[in-house]
Amino acid sequence: MPIESFDEARRAYLLKSAETEHARETEVQKLSLSPLTARIVAIGMLNPETMAGKVLYQSPNQERSGPDERNIEYHAGNEEQIVRQFWDDVRHYDQFITFNGRSFDCPFIMLRSAMLSIPPTRNLMPYRYDSSVHCDLLDQLTFYGAVRRFNDQEPEKRRRLRPRHRSDVPGRPVQGDRAVLRG
């Protein structure tokens, strides 16, 4: 939501820590990550078994099209319409898979739904360690946070640490179930 959409008292509260124009811009950008000050503008879903998908997005025109050549349907509407469509669609599946959905997407959708008085059709936050209902790939790939998360520049940092020439590491191909290295 644009900062101008809030009344003066709320704007003052939301920007109270911003002492410079840069700090103000930073605070305004952060508002888009909170379900209390932002809106859902798009939701994408893909069924990995059928490769059929659906994109729900905000538009002043209520449009529907699809499926296209990639088997993706497109549904436009206002925020309330796309959130209702999401809940109608997600109730038909036994499992859903997200990336960081447990920490961001699911709470965001659930809180926006509450603010719009839209009842959920299923629990998006089931028991964390049972991935049969909600499989959050970030949880799985970091062993539920046991392995440190890396930012998108981390692989580049690791690449720079590798030796440039590996010809000085002798060895021969893997034989059977073991590798043989000569020193």
Q: What is the pTM of this model?
A: 0.76
At 63-84, the pLDDT tens digits run 889 899 999 999 999 999 999 9
| Domain map (residue ranges) of the chain | 1-37
At 93-149, the pLDDT tens digits run 999 999 999 999 999 999 999 999 999 999 999 999 999 999 999 999 999 989 876
Identify whether 2 is preceded by a cis peptide bond (ω within 30 of 0).
Answer: no
